[in-house]
Amino acid sequence: LPFCFFLYFNHYFPIDYSPSPLDVLAMTTKTLESRFEHLSVKDENVSNNSCGTYAKNKGSLSTAVSLSGLGTTAQLNNGANRSNLLKLALQNTNDNKVNSINVSSSPAKGTLSHRNVDENGDQRQPSLYDQPAPKKLHLGMFEIGKPLGKGKFGRVYLAKERSSGFVCALKVLHKSELQQGGVQKQVRREIEIQSNLRHPNVLRLYGHFQDSKRIFLILEFAGRGELYKHLRKEHRFPEWKAAQYIAQMAAALKYLHKKHVMHRDIKPENILVGIHGEIKISDFGWSVHAPNNRRQTMCGTLDYLPPEMLKPGSQDNYYSEKVDLWSLGVLTYEFLVGEAPFEDTPVMTQRRIARADMTVPSFVSPEAKDLIKRLLVLDPEKRISLDEIQKHPWILKHCLKDDRVTKRSSGSSKEVETAAKLRRDGHNVVLVSSGAVGVGLRRMDVEERPKSLPRIQALAAVGQCRLMSLWDGLFSHLRLPVAQVLLTRNDIADRTQYVNAQNTFSQLFDMGVIPIVNENDTIAVSEIKFGDNDTLSAITAAMVKADYLFLMTDVDCLYTANPRHNPNASPIEVVSDISSLEADVSSAGSSLGTGGMSTKIVAAKLGTSAGVTTIITKSSKPGNVHEIVKYLQQVKQEENAPIPMNGAVTEVPPLHTRFLPSDHPVQSRTFWLLHGLKPHGTIFIDYGAYSALQKKASLLPAGVVGVDGHFAQQEAVRLVVVQRLSPDSLNGDFLHHGQEPKEVGRALVNYGSLEIERIKGHRSTQIQTLLGYADSEYVALRENISFFQQDDPPLR
């Protein structure tokens, strides 16, 4: 998601980015583990046949008979809940003994504690038993919020750890109900298995504790709730979304099977959606740790049961982890069709499963149909493997092309965290974002960018919703409100609208809101587009009187030569005169947004002319922005100190190029005239008129020597100075008469091009006679004329 950041001190200031969890989430997870890592478990040998099948109840929040009776369902179904999300942070202050609970199904010999392994199962930390013991966990440590879901044996609540503000889901199970249901051992097994799992697409179990009546499970908070509800709302998922979900499921199951864990109850009700839209497998009640990969218990949900579980003589019938592959095939079908493939009466469902009796509708693509048929194979050994699923054409078609996008999207959370840090430091921040059309293409599963303008605008409208949803989700996680501001050049062409936009930004800052600016591609056409994201960011920076504009690109800074080809290229740290800049500005640019290094140089000219310090730094390191701001503040404090503070600034900032602002920045209205408006034509004036204009006079018809283009009254035009032509060459081409025209500024005209052509070179008193009316004695009023700075050529 390419975007622009604006950071501000006393006022405000912008950043341009060419756009996993948040860094704060990653740091929090580690500190959270340090608090919960010492919870030990005692193993028990339990029988493997204490399970039974149960029917799926799609109308309820949980299944009819869940072995733990509860999933973290319906976790965040409306915007009101999002206000409960707090920044994740948890300090390790535990120093007491280990809290333990008996659990069943001990892991295989050599199984590492969850602190000792990464998501690939590799050892990385000393055993948890070598660590100091934490304090005993208890309910008083948590502030309990609203209920998130309800199951047969308990409920799930939104919770916050009081000392740190860490947000989680607290699953409360009543011991008496567990005993009555005969599922104590299964709950113990669920705890044992889930607490040892570490994967982005598997719901985390951070820890657990108990009192005399209840067992409490501290679970990861999945902010968007149950996937089943999303599926029911959409009826069926578009293929791009289904493919991405199945790809995530395949990655999670591959991890589970590597750990010798069979889930055995894959279905939409047991899959949650995280705050960033990623899916997370939950509810490990039917799961089992089987080092020999063989089990014989029939369990799970009937619609998803594989045929090997339904064969008679189950005592002699063993199955493997490939049961999850069958369930994955059923899940794929349900994602694309909206219902399970074998859904019928219980008896007929079993018969249809035993025969693999199903038909894939014609609206499902051939690639998706192929994957479903290769998963729903009666012989488990002939089912497609998880490795093959990840390489299947249907998966690659919808996931591989977004690989670069995914990396950028995952990185956008880092930019959000950077913006949050700057807000906490007292700075106002504006983001300038782009990419709505690209997001709309993916959202609507369109392969190629259409040529039809209405079609492109429609895709932009779809993409804008998705973009803002992503930004809102990321910022809501940190309890920071955002607002969308859509702009086109026409929106700032009118002076009143320009001032209204300034006032809107001011009010948003007063309210503590972070504005996210997008060019309104829904209505924009070539005549009213800014042209690139960098130009929009510079104009916005000037509009809000920013202190700093950050333009993010794929290199650390500008160099004296292309560093990719010349190892002797030196970084350019400070630029005081952009017009004299001679550097290699080649850049890969952005495939999703617009604007390479050349547009950033243009944006820097715009920004510095308005008094905005403009900085170029690397987009893959958004944390640089915070460090650079901190460094510049220290430098400014040292410069303004009444007593010299030699050596006070000792930190070396990250590599960047800083463009110093002009010593004589233009005023807001002047900037608007020069750069906020797109010129529709040209008026040629002589040097006498130019000299008078510099002395604050207005432009008279007598000073006009030529007109080019077609424009209307009150539209912007270029002012170009030429020598006075002879009467017989007034209608000639200036460029072919030895003239050296020089564009000196812009103006809003009182007459259109046809009228000015008739009154040029005449006295003002003749306007009435020549036109039949006289709206003004001037072609342009001085207040509507602005000149470029000396030796600073126009930018367009």
Residue 217: give its domain's CATH number.
3.30.200.20
169 annotated binding-site participant: no
Domain termination residue (choose one: 163, 190, 221): 221
Selection from 587, 555, 596, 595 nearest residue 572 by Cα: 555
Beta strands 300-301 and 53-54 are parallel
Does residue 282 lie within any of the structural domains?
yes
The rounded average pLDDT for each run of 10 residues, N- to C-terminus, in the chain (796 residues) is: 42 38 36 38 36 36 27 35 30 33 34 40 39 67 88 86 88 90 86 89 92 92 90 91 92 90 87 88 76 47 80 63 90 93 88 89 93 92 92 84 45 77 86 82 77 83 84 81 84 76 90 87 54 78 89 83 81 82 45 55 83 88 86 78 56 86 75 73 92 91 93 90 60 50 88 94 93 92 81 48
Does residue 254 lie within any of the structural domains?
yes
- The pLDDT of residue 704 is 94
Beta strands 558-559 and 571-572 are antiparallel
State both tokens at 445.
């599963």
- The pLDDT of residue 118 is 46
- In one-letter notation, the amino acid at residue 424 is R
For residues 625 and 681, membership in a common domain is answered with no
- The pLDDT of residue 373 is 93
For residues 356 and 382, membership in a common domain is answered with yes
153 annotated binding-site participant: no
Does residue 133 lie within any of the structural domains?
no
Alpha-carbon distance of 425 to 454, in angstroms, equals 43
Does residue 26 lie within any of the structural domains?
no
Alpha-carbon distance of 135 to 92, in angstroms, equals 10
Specify the CATH number for the domain of residue 548: 3.40.1160.10
- The pLDDT of residue 751 is 94
State both tokens at 179.
């005993």
For residues 396 and 422, membership in a common domain is answered with no
For residues 212 and 334, membership in a common domain is answered with no
221 annotated binding-site participant: yes
Report yes or no: 515 and 546 within 8 Å, Cβ to Cβ. Answer: no
Helix (H) and strand (E) counts for the chain?
Answer: 23, 29
Burial 705-727 (b: 16+ CB within 10 A, else e): bbbbeebeeebbbbbbbbeebee
Alpha-carbon distance of 674 to 535, in angstroms, equals 13
For residues 374 and 301, membership in a common domain is answered with yes
For residues 261 and 388, membership in a common domain is answered with yes
220 annotated binding-site participant: yes
Beta strands 716-721 and 681-685 are parallel
Specify the CATH number for the domain of residue 714: 2.30.130.10
Residues in the chain: 796
Report yes or no: 719 and 691 within 8 Å, Cβ to Cβ. Answer: no
283 annotated binding-site participant: yes
- In one-letter notation, the amino acid at residue 405 is V
Per DSSP, the residues of 486-507 read EE-HHHHHSHHHHHHHHHHHHH
Q: In what order do the strands lie in the sheet containing 205-210?
A: 142-150, 154-161, 167-174, 214-219, 205-210
* Dihedral (Cα; 518, 524, 526, 529), 10-degree rounding: -30
Backbone phi and psi for residue 461, each to the nearest 5 degrees, phi listed first: -65, -40
Helix or strand run (H / E) with residue 100: strand 100-104
171 annotated binding-site participant: yes
Domain termination residue (choose one: 221, 244, 263): 221
Alpha-carbon distance of 47 to 58, in angstroms, equals 30
For residues 357 and 420, membership in a common domain is answered with no
Does residue 131 lie within any of the structural domains?
no
State both tokens at 217.
């499970």
For residues 230 and 366, membership in a common domain is answered with yes
State both tokens at 28.
């929090």
State both tokens at 684.
């040629």
Alpha-carbon distance of 370 to 299, in angstroms, equals 28
Does residue 64 lie within any of the structural domains?
no
- What residues act catalytically? 265
Does residue 25 lie within any of the structural domains?
no
Instruction: Return all residues near 379 (Cβ < 8 A) that are at least 6 apart.
Output: none
Does residue 762 lie within any of the structural domains?
yes
Largest CA distance in the chain: 110
- The pLDDT of residue 658 is 92
For residues 630 and 775, membership in a common domain is answered with no
Look at the block and give the residue holding tokens 């910022």.
Answer: 475
**Which domain does 271 fall in, by range?**
224-310+318-410
For residues 363 and 272, membership in a common domain is answered with yes
For residues 439 and 381, membership in a common domain is answered with no
Alpha-carbon distance of 445 to 442, in angstroms, equals 5
For residues 664 and 684, membership in a common domain is answered with no
Domain count, the chain: 5
Burial 489-511 (b: 16+ CB within 10 A, else e): bbbbbeeeebeebbeebeebbee
Domain termination residue (choose one: 505, 529, 553): 529
